[in-house]
Amino acid sequence: MKLPEELERKILSELHLDGIYINPEIYQDEIDKLRRELINQSCIFTLERRVVEEYADAYFCYNFPQNFLKSFILAKKFFNLFKSLIPDDIKILDIGCGDGAGMFGLYYFMHKQEPESRFQLTGVDINDIFLKRCGAMADWFKEKDPHIDVELVKESAQKFIQRNKKTYDFIILSNTLAEIFQSEKIPLSFIGSLLKYLKETGFIIIIEPALKNLTRKLMELREDIITHKTGEILLPCLHNNRCPGLNKKREWCHQSIKWIPPDYLKIINQKLFRKIEYLKFSYLIISSPKYNLPTANFYPVISRLSIEKGRKRCLICTKDGIVELIMLNRERSLANEEFEQVSMGDIIKIDEPVKIKFRTYKIGKDTGVKRLDF
Same-domain status, 279 and 322: no
- Please tell me what DSSP assigns to residue 5: H
Same-domain status, 238 and 360: no
Same-domain status, 196 and 79: yes
Average pLDDT over residues 262-281: 93
Q: Domain containing 328 — which CATH number?
A: 2.40.50.140
How far is Cα of residue 97 from the mean position of the Cα atoms in its chain?
14
Same-domain status, 133 and 86: yes
Query: Whose CA is closest to 58, among 90, 100, 86, 30?
Result: 30
Same-domain status, 198 and 324: no
pLDDT of residue 188: 92
Identify whether 252 is part of a domain: yes
Residue 302 contacts residue 318 (beta carbons within 8 Å): no
- pLDDT for 240-255, tens place per residue? 888 877 777 777 888 8
Identify whether 281 is part of a domain: yes
**Of the residues 242, 258, 287, the one at which a domain ends:** 287
12: CB partners within 8 A, 6+ apart: 18, 20, 264
Same-domain status, 281 and 313: no
Identify whether 313 is part of a domain: yes
pLDDT for 85 beyond 70:
yes
**Of the residues 261, 287, 313, the one at which a domain ends:** 287
pLDDT bracket for residue 224 (50, 70, 90): very high
Same-domain status, 43 and 18: yes
pLDDT for 291 beyond 70:
no
Average pLDDT over residues 186-197: 92
pLDDT of residue 47: 58
Same-domain status, 314 and 275: no
- pLDDT for 307-352, tens place per residue? 999 999 999 998 888 999 999 999 999 999 999 999 888 899 999 8
pLDDT for 87 beyond 90:
no
Same-domain status, 124 and 204: yes
Helices (H) and strands (E) in the chain, counts: 10, 16
Identify whether 292 is part of a domain: no
Torsion angle, CA of 298/88/74/301, rounded to 10 degrees? 0
**Of the residues 287, 312, 340, the one at which a domain ends:** 287
Identify whether 132 is part of a domain: yes
How far is Cα 295 from Cα 234, in angstroms, rounded to an integer?
A: 10
Q: How many domains does the chain have?
A: 2
pLDDT bracket for residue 49 (50, 70, 90): low
Average pLDDT over residues 78-92: 88
Identify whether 293 is part of a domain: no
Q: Which domain holds residue 342?
A: 298-371
Share of the chain above pLDDT 70, in %: 95
Same-domain status, 326 and 213: no
pLDDT for 278 beyond 70:
yes
Query: Whose CA is closest to 300, among 351, 367, 249, 345?
Result: 345
Average pLDDT over residues 294-306: 85
More confident residue, 178 or 289: 178
- pLDDT for 131-140, tens place per residue? 999 999 999 9
pLDDT of residue 238: 86
pLDDT for 30 beyond 70:
yes
